[in-house]
Each structure stands twice: as structure tokens, then as C-alpha cells.
Amino acid sequence: MDSGKIDQIINKHNADAGSLIQILLEIQTENNWLPKEALTRV
């Protein structure tokens, strides 16, 4: 997953810490797993 797609998902949730689980779930749905790059970026 490229960083642009990760940023798009984060921005969709207004970078709200309260949306962390939803952001991670959305990334996982896109990739079928959570890449280290995504975890670091989030």
C-alpha cells in the first residue's frame, strides 16, 4: 500500500485519534493485513 492511499484513509477520518481503530480496520480491509509502513504512518 502506498503512502498516498494511507494518507487518504487518515484524512477521510480527519486524522482524529478517536478514529484510530476505524482507520486501521480500513487499511487492513484494503490489504488483508496491516503493513508495518501503515502502522508507522498512522
DSSP state letters, the chain: --HHHHHHHHHHTTT-GGGHHHHHHHHHHHHSS--HHHHHH-
Helices 3-12 & 20-31 angle (0-180, nearest 10):
140
Domain count, the chain: 1
**HSE-CB for 10 with a 13 A CA cutoff:** 13
What is the pLDDT at residue 2?
86
Nearest to 1, CA basis, from 34, 25, 23, 24: 34
**Domain extent at residue 8:** 3-41
| pTM for the full predicted model | 0.86
Q: What is the pLDDT of residues 1-42, one digit of tens each?
A: 889 999 999 999 999 999 999 999 999 999 999 999 999 999
What is the pLDDT at residue 1?
81
